Amino acid sequence: MQKNLRFCGSPVTPEEFNLIAETVRDCNGLSRTELAYTICELLNWRRPTGALKGHECRYFLEELETKGVLKLSGKKAGGPRNKKKATVESPGTEAQQEHITGKLSEFGPIELELVQDDDQRRLWREWVGRYHYLGCKVPFGAHLRYFVLITRPDVKRVACLQVSSPAWMMAPRDRWIGWSHAQRGRRLQQIVQNSRFLILPWVRIPHLASSALAKLVRRLPADWEKQYAVRPLLMETLVDSAKYQGTCYKAANWIHVGQTTGRGRMDKEHLRHGACIKEVLLYPLCRKAREKLLDEREDAASSCRHVDEML
């Protein structure tokens, strides 16, 4: 067993690892997704809502395979993690779209539409896969997706947003918070990352992006808590300064705290994986967010509330 294994910030004991290895060996007929959910059931790896952490577990197993710790079955290896683009037919190319230009006041107020049904998901993936420079990848862990809507003269979708689980370790963010390794492991779930933001290429509305971000930070805490039973305290995002200046984030009062080192988002071994250096920006979602992320009393209070809800 490799030393210091961690799953979602929590140590993996030798007994847990042995159970994982036995399950991988004995259940080699399962797909990787089925295997991940089986292991989650055996080890009771769950979200605060009670849902199994299947997606995170599959990522964890594949990370162990990459390091040579485990050998997974080759069955169904090309599952959902490799599906980067929607396969549905596009609702029209950029050239076929009606261009939307003008002042924000002519189209507002803007609204956010939570992506919930299959048609919405297919359209969101199609647009982001086609027009975002990073494409549409399956996000790690928990996530929510939105369309940004203009409401005048007609309701139309003009942008796509995604928030997802944060990076495990990011030095500028961690220095700004000032937490220890143990505190990060306990409270990381109260940070979310704005991992995709796309203004559709046929839309030219000044200040739309910063207005959408302002709407997002007001709405997200309640939506995330409803979905995952955790209320986020802080948002983070990464901006590739070689391509963008992050103007909309600065206009929406996000805080620039430094640059990444160029490692991957889950790099716990301090090894570079060829990721480009990006600017790190943060947005507190409540007053004294930093203090609350450091407050040990919050952990005790949350545990008491969870017990009360179960009684």
281: domain CATH number is 3.40.630.30
Residue 27 within a domain: yes
Residue 1 within a domain: no
pLDDT at 296: 66
Residue 203 within a domain: yes
Task: Write down which residue in 31, 53, 81 finishes a domain.
Answer: 81
- pTM value > 0.85: no
Task: Write down which residue in 24, 51, 81 finishes a domain.
Answer: 81
The residue ranges of the chain whose pLDDT is under 70 are 1-3, 74-96, 140, 263-275, 296-311
Containing structural domain, residue 304: 93-310
Answer whether 126's CB lies under 8 Å from 158's CB: no
Residue 231 sits in the same domain as residue 122: yes
Residue 201 sits in the same domain as residue 52: no
Residue 109 sits in the same domain as residue 213: yes
Residue 48 sits in the same domain as residue 113: no
pLDDT at 152: 92
Residue 215 within a domain: yes
Counted residue by residue, the chain has a size of 311
Residue 88 within a domain: no
Burial readout 173-212 (b: 16 or more C-beta within 10 A, e: otherwise): bbebbebeeebbbbbbbbbbbbbbbbbbebbebeebbbbb
Residue 143 sits in the same domain as residue 261: yes
Residue 60 sits in the same domain as residue 115: no
Residue 65 sits in the same domain as residue 140: no
Residue 30 within a domain: yes
pLDDT at 41: 87
**Into how many domains does the chain fold?**
2
Residue 240 sits in the same domain as residue 150: yes
pLDDT at 276: 81
Task: Write down which residue in 51, 81, 111 finishes a domain.
Answer: 81
Residue 209 sits in the same domain as residue 98: yes
Residue 228 sits in the same domain as residue 270: yes
**Max CA separation in the chain (angstroms):** 62
pLDDT at 91: 58
Helices (H), ranges, 178-268: 181-187, 208-228, 247-251
Residue 62 sits in the same domain as residue 103: no
The arrangement of strands across the sheet holding 143-150 comes to: 111-114, 143-150, 156-164, 191-199, 234-239, 279-284, 255-259
Residue 86 within a domain: no
Residue 191 sits in the same domain as residue 215: yes
